[in-house]
Amino acid sequence: MRRVRHRVVRRSLAAYLPRPRSAHLSWRMAQVHRELVWWVRTDRNTRRLARIPLSRRIPRWREWHCIAHFESTSNWAMSPTSDPPSGGEYWGGLQMDSQFMQSYGADMIRRHHGGVADTWTPVEQITVANRAWQERGFAPWPTTSGECGL
């Protein structure tokens, strides 16, 4: 069971899938059997999901890439100190300011030990942008969303 769980966790992290729950083990054989069945089923599901491209799994993938193209010329690591600089207090490919990151991406800041959007992966930046989109639509990017026809 340990090997199956390890394989599932490794594949989930590599494919940007949610991290699976921890194993629930006991000494009773029935519980061990149920747990093994659950992990084998999860292994099968993660294998299937990992084959689906990110562009089909993550909502508005193409829209965010278009916005990033106009905001930062698709430089997902852009910051006020990068070369070229972002031209203000904006970070990442989607040019998020510190208040925006605190509001919608506080968990990402913690995950990256205080790192802001220029240290996040493009998938993490898009995840935070999708959270904002649910409340505000494309309003934080008025000019570039217009350029993308959104």
DSSP the chain: -HHHHHHHHHHHHHTTPPPPPPP---S-HHHHHHHHHHHHHHHHHHHHHHTS-HHHHSTTHHHHHHHHHHHHTT-TT--TTSSS--SSS-BTTTTB-HHHHHHH-HHHHHHTTT--GGGS-HHHHHHHHHHHHHHHTTTTSHHHHHHTT-
Q: What topology does CATH give the domain 56-147?
A: Lysozyme (1.10.530)
Tokens of 86: 């972002």
Other CB atoms within 10 Å distance of the CB of residue 96: 27
CATH 1.10.530.10 location in the chain = 56-147
pLDDT band, residue 134 (cuts 50/70/90):
very high
Res 109: pLDDT:
92
Highest mean pLDDT among 11-20, 28-37, 101-110: 101-110
Kindly report, residue by residue over 117-127, the tens digit of the pLDDT: 999 999 999 99
Q: CA-CA distance, 64 to 93, in Å (whole number)?
A: 9
Whether 17 shows a pLDDT value over 90: the answer reads no
Q: What is the mean pLDDT of residues 97-108?
A: 93
